[in-house]
Structure 1
Amino acid sequence: MTGLDAFALYTGLNGLLLIALAYNVIRHRQRSKIGIGTGNDAELERACRVHGNAVEYVPVALVIIGALAMTSAPVLVVHGVGILLTVGRALHAWGLSSSAGTTPGRFIGTLLTWISIVAGSGFLIWTAVS
């Protein structure tokens, strides 16, 4: 598997995750009959934040993974960043979906997501200046 293949894999997996989270928002909207906003519905608000949080982090992380692949980073680096991102986003979605408070999934998911972005960014900067 090449770096570009790995990039394609994590782009596809995270794309499916975003669609699943968007579907969850739609499901809550239909149940509560709220077409726009959240109407003070706590479950809908949480579903929107789970989706919104993924939308805030996934695109920049995928740009980083794509840049790693295009700069011929070792495939293991691309996989490492991709796995951290994907597992992190799944854990975060699960944790925040289950509770608006602090949960292990939410904490570990955020941590893994941040590590993926920092590690990928650091590798890109190191590659650019060396």
Structure 2
Amino acid sequence: MNLITSGHAAALWTGLHLFLLLILSLLVVRQRQRHKVAFGDEGIPELAQAIRAFGNATEYVPAGLIAIVVLALVEAPPLAVHLAGLLLFAGRVFHAVGLSRSGGTSFPRAIGVTLTWVAYVFTGVALLFYAIA
């Protein structure tokens, strides 16, 4: 009997991504309070970087999670769901760390976007495979 299903795997990665988004949101709030800024970034680099780290995650995570959940719905192996979740999560963490440390290009940002795109390609190919198989 398989105790860990694709649905359980999707639930794990969805939960972790939700907490990542919450942490990134809290970092924006902390910067807003520190600099007493209610709207925008007022040209403060640390606030702008926190806003972009959160914003970038909100741009990539929803589509990635939809792909992960659909993988579970088509009963892809739990390993495939875990691989997609890990790639996306690691990519988003690396990217957020890189962007939080520097507004310019950085090695963590490059690794982050690469892992995110690999997650997208992997899930896209897997979903197409399950759609026609």
When normalised by structure 1's length, the TM-score is 0.98
Q: Who is 1:78 aligned against?
A: 81
Secondary structure at 2:26 match in 1: helix
How far does residue 15 in structure 1 lie from its aligned partner after superposition?
0.4
Partner Cα distance (2:45, 2:117) in 1: 27
Q: Which amino acid letter does the alignment assign opposite residue 79 of structure 1?
A: H
User: Runs of 4 or more off by more than 6 Å in structure 1?
Assistant: none
SS in 2 for 1:121: helix
TM-score between the two structures when normalised by the length of structure 2:
0.95
Q: Distance in 2 between matches of 1:62 and 1:43?
A: 28
Instruction: Please tell me the residue identity of whatever aligns with 2:102.
Output: S
Q: 1:39 aligns with which of 24, 33, 42?
A: 42
Q: Provide the C-alpha distance between the structure 1 equivalents of 2:11 and 2:26, rounded to a whole number of angstroms.
A: 22
RMSD: 0.7
Measure, in 1, the Cα distance between the counterparts of 2:124 and 2:66.
10
The answer to whether structure 1 residue 96 and structure 2 residue 99 are counterparts is yes
- How many residue pairs get matched? 130
CA offset digits 1:27-80 (Å, max 9, x no partner): 000011110111111111110000000000000000000000000101111010
C-alpha displacement at 1:16, in angstroms? 0.3
The equivalent residue for 1:24 is: 27
